[in-house]
A and B are shown apart, each in its own frame.
Chain A
Amino acid sequence: MKRYVIIGNGPAAVSAVDGIRSVDSDGSITVISKEEHAAYFRPLISYYLEGKSKAENIFCRPDDFYQKNHCEIILGEAVAINTNQKTVSVSNGESVPYDSLCICSGSSPFVPPMSGLDTVDKKFTFLTIDDSFAIENAVDENSRVLIIGAGLIGLKCAEGLRDRVADVTVCDLAPRVLSSILDDGCAAIVQKHLEDCGIHFSLANTAERFEGNTAVMKDGSSVDFDVLVLALGVRPNTGFFKEAGGACNRAILVDNCMKTSLDDIYAAGDCVEQEDITFGGKRIMALLPNANIGGYTAGVNMAGGEAEFDNALPMNSIGFWGLHIMTAGTYANDGNARMIEEKSDKGIKRFFIRDNRLIGYIIIGEVKSAGIYTNLVRNRTDLTDIDLNLLIKNPNLLPFGEIYRRKTLRGVV
């Protein structure tokens, strides 16, 4: 009987369980979980604060999932892998033997050293549901909240908190919001919308030091606050893997089978770097669909089946108070790609084309049927016979021809 061990207990981990069980119903599965919750959907932590998600509705699988799949849960953090003895050392002192191991250890908030941070009474990071519970307890309707970081995490936190508190101010060293996924023009539209919704910004500026509940900013001004949220980004949890001699860049390097450089060790989810088909290299693509597909792929391969995840790409769908933003692929306007822009009163679409293929896009506002664009990116579809102008105005199946439609609308896909 094969012994499977999974480090981590998020979406990638439970998908790995599904993948293993699709091949092997007998082997033992041990899940090493740092958090005292069943696997939950991490993006819901802001919707919990906003009141859109109930705490009992955030879980990835039904209550009986671990029992049904005969998983043993060990509460603790993996601290080391011994590749000779094939064991994982856990923070609770246990040593867990494996025949096949999957690392789904996710990431941790990155907090740089900041002067006076220890003088701040109520400070939080925002990555776990326990962070949400703690922030919920710390705020009231009179709270002034300062969020450091105008990325996805910081802005979703701002949205989640606005109606619970008196004021939300977001600062970031970057000159624009969502700098990891938006270009300048698109970021300005989103920032304006967020300001209209009551969020205050201090961009190209950040807190340099703290004096109790006052942040002294880079530009010399100061911001008084009651609650501080540190949303400066995340770092993949890879230390124990590196120490075992595994190949890492910024995260654990995996191939399309989700196999790492070490024998019988796979990895999936936010802690991996894998081939991005739109980029021509490996990237961290810490996104839920990739965690689910990558985890499942790893599980199948761990159990001796054959699976590949060979079409990963970065993508995001994020909305703030009715304004939707979607992005996919690569959209560095670096001269190697041609940009086509479509503006309307509903918003803006920017498409990036290279070698006659759509390699990425940004849409703000009119996101209807954007999956048709994502599919072009994912399949690296040659645009020679496709009327892209038509598609840009109105994404539908007309430009794909009758044969494609017969396959998709009259057949099982």
Chain B
Amino acid sequence: MKRVFVHEEWCLGCHLCEYNCAFANSGVNDMVKALKGKPVTPRIHVEDDGKIHYAVSCRHCENPLCTKGCISGALTKGDDGVVTIDHEKCVGCLSCMLLCPYGCITTDEKDVVLKCELCVKNGRGTPACVEGCPNRAIVYEEVEA
């Protein structure tokens, strides 16, 4: 399967991936309308100590712990390998956050659990973080396990 990978040496620390992610998953057609004056709650985040910066999003693990700890069956790994969340089932217990070794599960301002689903649900072919990365620090490719 194709996954999102990050090359930290090329990351500019511009945080555009965060905005593109939040916009892509907003369900709104206009980026300004989607984000201006609203809480921006992306499923990818940039970690930064001033010198080093890189983006982190769901690794779509071969053997995910989040799905094993999910108390509601909301988190599942599909036959395509993508780990997705069913918000109809999620009760917001955050067991996934307790288990994810990489800090890839987040919540929005209403405490709704969010995670990268590789833009499979919003109708895009390529994840928005990848498409909008100005220095190709975030790529979408097949890598052997």
Using known A-B contacts A289-B65, A398-B47, A408-B102, determine if residue A319 contacts B71 with beta carbons closer than 8 Å: no
- CB < 8 Å A-B pair total: 128
**Chain A residues near B144 (CB-CB < 8 A):** 412
Complex Cα–Cα for A317 and B100 (A): 12
| A324: interface (CB < 8 Å) | yes
A-B contacts, 15 listed (Cβ < 8 Å): A52-B92, A288-B69, A289-B69, A315-B98, A317-B98, A318-B93, A319-B93, A322-B111, A367-B94, A369-B103, A371-B101, A374-B101, A396-B56, A408-B59, A408-B101
Q: Are B68 and A402 in contact (CB under 8 A)?
A: no
CA distance in complex: A367, B113 (Å): 13
By a CB distance below 8 angstroms, the chain A residues around B99 are: 289, 315, 371, 374
In this complex, how many residues of chain B approach chain A with their Cβ under 8 Å: the count is: 41
Bound-complex Cα distance A82 to B123 (A) = 57
A265 proximal to B (CB < 8 A): no
Q: Considering the complex, give the chain B residue whose CB is closest to the CB of A401.
A: B52
Residues of A within 8 A of B105 (CB): 371
Asked whether B97 lies within 8 Å of A317 as measured between CB atoms, the reply is yes
Give the segment of B2-10, B25-33, B125-133 that binds chain A: B2-10
- The docked-state distance in angstroms from the alpha carbon of A369 to that of B47 is 12
**B79 is an interface residue with CB less than 8 A from chain A:** no
**CB-CB contacts of B14-49 with A at 8 A, as 1s and 0s?**
000000000000000000000000000000000101
Closest Cβ neighbor of A369 among chain B residues: B103
The reply on B80 being an interface residue by CB < 8 A is no
Say yes or no: B71 contacts A328, CB within 8 Å: no
Q: Are A409 and B56 in contact (CB under 8 A)?
A: yes
CB-based contact B94/A53 at 8 Å: no
If A53-B91, A289-B99, A371-B99 touch, whether A412 touches B145 (CB-CB below 8 Å) is: yes
Taking the closest CB of chain A, its distance from the CB of B66, in whole angstroms, is 8
A340 interface residue per 8 A CB criterion: no
Contacts of B69 in A (CB 8 A): 288-289, 292, 317
Chain A interface (Cβ within 8 Å of chain B)?
41, 43-44, 47, 52-54, 57-60, 288-289, 292-293, 315-319, 322, 324, 326, 328, 367-372, 374-375, 378, 395-398, 402, 405-406, 408-413
What chain B residues lie within 8 Å of A52 (beta carbons)? 91-92
Residues in A neighbouring B56, C-beta threshold 8 A: 396-397, 409
Whole-angstrom CA separation of A411 from B4 in the bound complex: 10
Residues of B within 8 A of A402 (CB): 8, 52
Residues of chain B lying within 8 A (CB to CB) of residue A60: 73
Query: Which B-chain residue is minimally distant from A410 (CB atoms)?
Result: B5
Q: Which 3 A-B pairs have the closest CB atoms?
A: A369-B103, A375-B101, A289-B69
Could you say which of B8, B59, B62, B103 contacts A395, with CB atoms under 8 Å apart? Answer: B103
Which listed residue (A316, A318, A372, A412) contacts B103, Cβ 8 A?
A: A372
**Residues 95-115 of chain B: 1 if any A CB is under 8 Å from the residue's CB, otherwise 0?**
111111111011000010000
Query: Which among A293, A408, A410 is the interface contact of B68 at CB below 8 angstroms?
Result: A293
Spell out B's residues near A (CB within 8 Å): 3, 5-8, 47, 49, 52, 54, 56, 59, 61-62, 65, 68-73, 88-89, 91-103, 105-106, 111, 143-145
Contact partner, A405, options B3, B8, B61, B93, Cβ 8 Å: B8
State in angstroms the CA–CA spacing of A60 and B70 once bound together.
10
Could you tell me if A289 and B68 are in contact, using CB atoms closer than 8 angstroms?
Answer: yes
* Residues of B contacting A289 in the complex (Cβ-Cβ under 8 angstroms): 65, 68-69, 95, 99
Q: Are B98 and A374 in contact (CB under 8 A)?
A: yes
The one of B5, B68, B91, B111 in contact with A47, judged by C-beta atoms closer than 8 angstroms, is B91
Task: Kindly provide the distance from the CB of A50 to the nearest chain B CB, expressed in whole angstroms.
Answer: 8
Least distance between A165 CB and chain B CB atoms (Å):
20
Complex alpha-carbon distance, A371 and B64, angstroms = 12
**Contact call A398/B52, Cβ cutoff below 8 A:** yes
What's the Cα separation between A396 and B55 when bound, in Å?
11
Instruction: Give Cα distance in the complex from A289 to B105, angstroms.
Output: 17
* Set B98, B103, B106: member contacting A396, Cβ < 8 A: B103
Complex-state Cα separation, A368 to B94, whole angstroms: 9
A412 CA to B99 CA, complexed, in Å? 18
Question: Within 8 Å CB of A372, what residues of B?
Answer: 101-103
Neighbouring A residues of B111 by C-beta, 8 Å:
322
**Chain B minimum-CB-distance residue to A363:** B98
> What is the minimal beta-carbon distance from A148 to any residue of chain B, in angstroms?
24
**How many angstroms between the C-alpha atoms of A261 and B98 in the bound complex?**
33
A369 touches B97 (CB 8 A): yes
Asked if B59 and A43 make an inter-chain contact with CB atoms under 8 angstroms apart, the answer reads no
**Quick check: B97 and A368 within 8 Å, CB to CB?**
yes
- Among A315, A317, A402, A411, max chain B CB count under 10 A is at A317
> What's the Cα separation between A43 and B73 when bound, in Å?
11
Complex Cα distance, B98 from A319, in Å, reads: 12
